[in-house]
């Protein structure tokens, strides 16, 4: 199989492939991607419960979110896709990956085992988390994002002046307080693990340049594609579910290329 034989969605410059991410990456040239933003399955769909709209509800998100059978198998999967992601990253490229405590320690160990260098561990603090339904633990109010380069000697992009105040005391810290997905970002359809655009925009603004190519191995609702297009980056995504490919395509087509750049001091579209 080649790339031309895989069903695609989206538009030129922002394409989603209906494909397993490992299969897709194996067809991609080595060192061809500037940045990866990955929101992999958290393996949360194990019969647990949460609170939605004040009611106790199942946390089942889909069969794709189930454990593969054991921690060892889940960890081996993380190693497998991260190994391919490292192969397609440029020497100066970086990778972002999100997770909760269910998988983040596996991801961190896998990154370091494969030779990545972790640049930052970002805490995404949610000011509006659902309460703990069973009252057996503290409310889960954050997720973690790991930002990594290809190795100790790699030079990576960090657009310090775009994300920080000139005042050293005003530097953005590794704790990001960002609300969950607002209703306006769900107008084109529903995805159970959608990330807020503000979160992904900040990551891509900090670590990529205009015209860079961003890859999302677990495209979902297409938030990474929307953020990339709005910031004048190019995008490729992989997604296993056809309905989510269609959702991502609708969101990407509705976004304005370079539309966010005019709102960022010191940045001009095409510059």
pLDDT (tens digit, 9 = 90+) per residue, 124-153?
999 988 887 778 889 889 999 999 999 988
Q: What is the pLDDT of residue 269?
A: 35
* Residue 256 belongs to some domain of the structure: no
Task: Determine the Cα–Cα distance for residues 16 and 177; give it in Å rounded to an integer.
Answer: 29
In DSSP terms, 233 is beta-bridged to: none
Q: Are 41 and 218 in contact (CB under 8 A)?
A: yes
Average pLDDT of the segment spanning 5-28: 97
Domain holding 76, by residue range, is: 33-215
Q: How many domains does the chain have?
A: 1
Task: For CA atoms 188, 96, 65, 243, give the dihedral sign.
Answer: positive
* Residue 14 belongs to some domain of the structure: no
Q: Is the pLDDT of residue 92 over 60?
A: yes
Q: What angle do CA 238, 41, 4 make, to 5 degrees?
A: 10
Q: Percentage of the chain surpassing pLDDT 70?
A: 90
Q: Is the pLDDT of residue 185 over 90?
A: yes
CATH number for the domain that contains residue 57: 3.40.50.150
Average pLDDT of the segment spanning 211-215: 98
Assessment of whether the complete model's pTM goes beyond 0.85: yes
Structure tokens at 80: 């497998």
Contacts 24+ apart (CB under 8 A), 3-7: 3/27, 3/28, 7/242, 7/245
Tell me the pairing of strands 49-52 and 33-38: unpaired
* Residue 9 belongs to some domain of the structure: no
Residues 6 or more apart in contact with residue 270 via CB below 8 angstroms: 210, 232, 258
* Residue 178 belongs to some domain of the structure: yes
Residues 6 or more apart in contact with residue 58 via CB below 8 angstroms: 47, 48, 49, 50
Of 92-101, 139-148, 156-165, the poorest mean pLDDT is in 156-165
* Residue 114 belongs to some domain of the structure: yes
* Residue 238 belongs to some domain of the structure: no
* Residue 107 belongs to some domain of the structure: yes
* Residue 250 belongs to some domain of the structure: no
């Amino acid at each position: 199989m080649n790339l031309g034989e895989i069903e695609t969605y989206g538009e030129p410059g922002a394409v989603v492939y209906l494909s397993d991410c490992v299969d897709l990456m194996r067809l991609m040239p080595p060192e061809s991607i500037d940045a990866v933003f990955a929101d992999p399955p958290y393996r949360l769909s194990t019969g647990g419960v949460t609170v939605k709209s004040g009611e106790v509800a199942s946390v089942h998100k889909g069969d794709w979110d189930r454990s593969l059978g054991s921690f060892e198998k889940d960890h081996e999967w993380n190693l497998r896709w991260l190994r391919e992601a490292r192969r397609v990253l440029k020497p100066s490229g970086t990778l972002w990956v999100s997770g909760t405590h269910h998988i983040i320690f596996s991801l961190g160990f896998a990154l370091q085992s494969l030779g990545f260098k972790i640049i930052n561990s970002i805490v995404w603090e949610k000011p509006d988390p659902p309460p703990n339904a069973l009252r057996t633990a503290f409310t889960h109010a954050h997720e973690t994002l790991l930002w990594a380069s290809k190795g100790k000697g790699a030079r990576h992009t960090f657009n310090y002046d775009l994300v920080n105040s000139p005042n050293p005391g005003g530097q953005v810290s590794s704790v990001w307080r960002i609300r969950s997905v607002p209703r306006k970002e769900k107008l084109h359809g529903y995805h159970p693990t959608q990330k807020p655009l503000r979160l992904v925009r900040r990551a891509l603004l900090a670590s990529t340049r205009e015209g860079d190519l961003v890859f999302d191995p677990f495209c979902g609702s297409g938030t990474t594609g929307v953020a990339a297009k709005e910031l004048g980056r190019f995008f490729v995504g992989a997604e296993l579910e056809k309905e989510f490919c269609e959702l991502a395509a609708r969101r990407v087509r509705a976004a304005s290329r370079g539309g966010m750049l005019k709102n960022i001091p010191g940045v001009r579209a095409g510059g």
